[in-house]
Amino acid sequence: MHLEALKEVDPKLYSLIIQEKERQMQGVELIPSENLVSQAVLEALATVPTNKYSEGYAGKRYYGGNEIIDKIELLAINRLKKLFEAEHANVQPLSGSPANMAALFAFLKPGEKFMAMRLDMGGHLTHGHKVNFSGVLFKVVHYGVDPKTELLDYDAIERLAKKEKPSLLLSGYTAYPRAIDFKRFREIADSVGAYAMADIAHIAGLCCTGMHENPVPYFDVVTTTTHKTLRGPRGAAIMCKKEFAEAIDKAVFPFLQGGPHENVIAAQAVAFKEALQPSFKRYAKQVVKNARVLAEELASLGNRIVSNGTDTHLLLVDVTSKGTTGLEAEKALEKAGIYCNKNTIPYDKRKPWDPSGIRLGTPAVTTRGMKESEMVFLAYLINRIIENPKSKAVIEKVKAEIKELCKQFPFYE
């Protein structure tokens, strides 16, 4: 990293950033919503478009001097449209949550009803949870997963939709490890006259590479973050049918936001270019392969995998099957340099702050170049910790192994 000026002006902050970089390099990042951006994306982030006010859209800005900014934003938009076969794209949402807020307000009036997955079965806070704007400002009907299979039950979702007649049906999740049948969701939405919305924040990098069904061409609106499997900067985008373009753009600005972060949009343009390359297809394929191997190996070591496996980049492990809890497992793994998050499992008998599960994902380790054999080794190490979360000796031993493994997969020089 070229941080000479920062080092001189603010040595304290410089030191913290170097420490964080070392933490990222010396640990194994298995949080499924995280990734490691390329050096090119990092460089674009730290550039002068951050100085610019550009409220509005290309050709219709509220400030002068946006001629070049327009070109940057259009580059990002056009690449994103190509990547997902989208009719219209807005790259200004500051992150996934504001993207969802804008999309919901583009289609619904306050008090109108939408249907989405419950948070504790894999949905997101912005999908109608009561502590979130989405649960406060709209009427929400929640669906869950089947208690036996832990899979989406499309017939049950259809029955609920027919009974409740929501104005919008939302699919796409935060902690659902299996493939989503977006075509079925579109049919269910059509059968009750609801808009079909998908939130592909987690799986966007799989949807644009053929590793998961891409809902963009036939859904009314699709939101995504750009920093998860898509491997871009922290940010978001909304894609929609042409007929909703104006409503979406107005919902982002002026309804919800002011000036867009054009340095982030520049970095998004870089990430979208990277995602259009054949190498990114290979990457996405390896992400899914790695997750499958990690799940299979953990299962063969006696861990219960929610829904019995994964079709995506993530998996949920019910760690109570080994006598520990989500919180205890997360903390013990963290001490060994393995990062994941505690997570509820469907119909969890425990509470959200100390649930029964942990959530693991392979986007970041795959970016570092790890493959199946490393997943087998990681499953062994994770299982050692899950079985011995209180043992300082085991944690120290695993930590040394992790450090050694990470040395073989350097990323930022």
Site for ligand PLP in 42-101 (CB under 6 A): 95-97, 100
Pick the closer one to ligand PLP by CB: 33 or 66: 33
Residue type, 358: I
- Render the burial of 292-304: b for 16+ CB within 10 Å, e for the rest: bbbbbbbbeeebb
CB of 35 to ligand PLP, least distance (A): 12
Identity of the residue, 77 or 102, whose beta carbon is nearer to ligand PLP in the bound complex: 102
How many beta carbons lie within 10 A of that of residue 407, not counting itself?
A: 10
Is residue 124 close enough to count as binding ligand PLP by CB under 6 A? Answer: yes
Is 199 a catalytic site residue? yes
For residue 151, the minimal CB distance to ligand PLP (Å) is 18
Compute the least distance from the CB of residue 201 to ligand PLP, in Å: 3
C-alpha distances (whole Å) from 283 to each of 61, 209, 241 are 38, 9, 29
**Closest-CA residue to 390 (of 338, 351, 333):** 333
Nearer to ligand PLP, 228 or 322 (CB): 228
- State yes or no: is 55 an active-site residue: yes
103 binds ligand PLP, rule: CB under 6 A:
no
Give every CB contact of residue 306 below 8 A, 6+ residues apart in sequence: 150, 177, 315, 316, 317, 318, 345, 346, 357
Report, in Å, the least distance between residue 258 CB and ligand PLP: 17
Of residues 222 and 382, the one with the C-beta less far from ligand PLP: 222
> To the nearest whole angstrom, how small is the minimum distance from the Cβ of residue 124 to ligand PLP?
4
| Whole-number Å distance between alpha carbons of 27 and 87 | 40
User: Is residue 27 a contact residue for ligand PLP (CB under 6 A)?
Assistant: no
- Interface residue with ligand PLP among 132, 174, 341, 367 (CB under 6 A) is 174
Q: How many CB atoms lie within 10 A of CB 192?
A: 17
Least distance CB 1 / ligand PLP (angstroms): 24
Residue 172 lies near ligand PLP (rule: CB under 6 A) = yes
List of E strands, 159-288 = 168-171, 195-199, 221-225, 236-240
How far is it, in rounded angstroms, from Cα 300 to Cα 285?
23
Rounded CA-CA distance 378/35 in Å is 17
241 binds ligand PLP (CB under 6 A): no
For residue 60, count CB atoms less than 10 angstroms from its CB and return exposed for 0-12, middle for 13-18, buried for 19 or more: exposed
H or E element at residue 67: helix 67-84
> Which residues are registered as beta bridge partners of 317?
305, 358
- Minimum CB distance to ligand PLP smaller for 251 or for 398: 251
Q: Which is the catalytic residue, given 21, 82, 118, 234? A: 234
Q: How far is the CB of 413 from ligand PLP (least distance, A)?
A: 28
Number of residues in contact with ligand PLP, rule: CB under 6 A?
14
List the structure tokens of 225: 């973050």
Candidates 34-42, 166-174, 244-252, 401-409; binding stretch for ligand PLP (CB under 6 A): 166-174
Rounded distance between C-alpha atoms, residue 289 and residue 117, angstroms: 26
Q: Which of 225, 229, 312, 344 is catalytic?
A: 225
Contact 269, 92 (CB under 8 A): no
Residue 399: how many other CB atoms lie within 10 Å: 18
Query: Taking phi first (over 0 means left), then psi (-120 to 50 degrees means alpha), and beta for anything else, what does residue 111 get?
Result: left
225 binds ligand PLP (CB under 6 A): yes
CA distance 3 to 23: 18
Q: Is 53 a catalytic residue?
A: yes
Binding mask 193-212 for ligand PLP (x = CB under 6 A): ------x-xx----------
| Closest residue to bound ligand PLP by CB | 96
Instruction: Indicate which residue of 14, 53, 154, 347 is catalytic.
Output: 53
Q: Is 228 a catalytic residue?
A: yes
Residues 126 to 155 in contact with ligand PLP, rule: CB under 6 A = 126
- The CA R_g of the chain, rounded to the nearest whole Å, is 21
Contact between 356 and ligand PLP per CB under 6 A: no
**Minimum Å distance from CB 63 to ligand PLP?**
26
**Marked catalytic residue, from 55, 87, 372, 387:** 55
Which amino acids are annotated catalytic? Answer: 53, 55, 199, 225, 228, 234
Q: Which residues bind to ligand PLP, rule: CB under 6 A?
A: 33, 95-97, 100, 124, 126, 172-174, 199, 201-202, 225
